[in-house]
Amino acid sequence: MSVQGKSWSRRWGRKIVLPSWIVPAALVIVVAGCGGSSGDDVTAAKAHAPAPCRTGGRIAPHVADPPASWASGPGPAIALSCSGDGVDPGAAIVGYPLPGEGSCVTAYSSSLGEAFGELCEPTGTGWTSQCERAGCVHYFSHQKASTVLVGPVPGNVSSVWASINGKQVLEGVALASVHGKLMRAIGSKEPFGFFTVYVPRCVEPEEVKVHLVAGGSKQIGLADEWDVEEAKCPAGHSGPASS
């Protein structure tokens, strides 16, 4: 598996924020045999099922083909946040240390089977230094059946929530709040947050807003939006809303 990344735009794009309470616990994916399979077949299928995602635990057993970069540093890549909602069960936010010093963070989608939006800070600081607002959308990608976006936020952000054309998204949004043990495990020198939004349909960048919350309930504004020109969604892309 490769990690998809995009460089920062001149204005660093827009950000999407979701409330922290939306982040659910990870689900264990159970692989069932098809009708008529023997008991041995079912046992073999279960043996190859990915391990459950556990915040703070090694992420490699949870991903079938983890990117080589996840094992490039002095310590293992770990799950900074695990998602168990119905839109993208098994999704995770992943962090890992760089050789020497510094760290990287990226998002992993179980539904898409890929990692994307990698952001690295060689000094382990300055996670939001390229954001004009408190946080920003660092990566955005959409196709006919999905839209993903991720970005960093300050360490004091307690939750994020997203909206599409003014309507709140209730699933597919997660925030990793990286402090203390998690921060030290990946080699970061300061607390920060990293959000991810997954929408199971094509959405234009300007339709999505990410809202930041601090102290549990104080709305502190929007993340910078994605401002790099993207190809438009295909005609007839509109699907059921993920809320």
- DSSP assignment string, 3-71: EE--PPPSS------B-GGG-PPPPPPPP-PPTT--HHHHHHHHHTSPPPP-BTSBSGGGSSS--GGGG
Residue 238: what pLDDT?
56
Give the domain range for residue 21: 9-25+50-222
Does residue 242 form part of some domain? Answer: no
Q: How many domains is the chain built from?
A: 1
| Alpha-carbon separation of residue 6 from 12, 80, 106, 139 (angstroms) | 11, 21, 12, 6
241 located within any domain: no
What distances in angstroms separate CA 205 from CA 52, 160, 174, 202, 224, one per listed residue?
A: 32, 17, 18, 10, 11
| pLDDT exceeds cutoff 60 at 30 | no
Inside any domain, residue 56:
yes
Q: Does the pTM exceed 0.75?
A: yes
Report whether 136 contacts 224 (CB < 8 A): yes
| Domain annotation covers residue 171 | yes
* 233 in a structural domain: no
- What is the DSSP code (8-state) at residue 166? T
* Banded pLDDT at 49 (limits 50, 70, 90): low
**pLDDT, tens digit, 9 for 90 and up, residues 200-212:** 999 999 999 999 9
Digit-coded pLDDT (tens) for 132-170: 999 999 999 999 999 999 999 999 999 999 999 999 999
% pLDDT > 90, the chain: 70
- Predicted local confidence at residue 33, as pLDDT: 35
Q: Is residue 31 part of a domain?
A: no
Rounded Cα distance, 67 and 60, in Å = 9
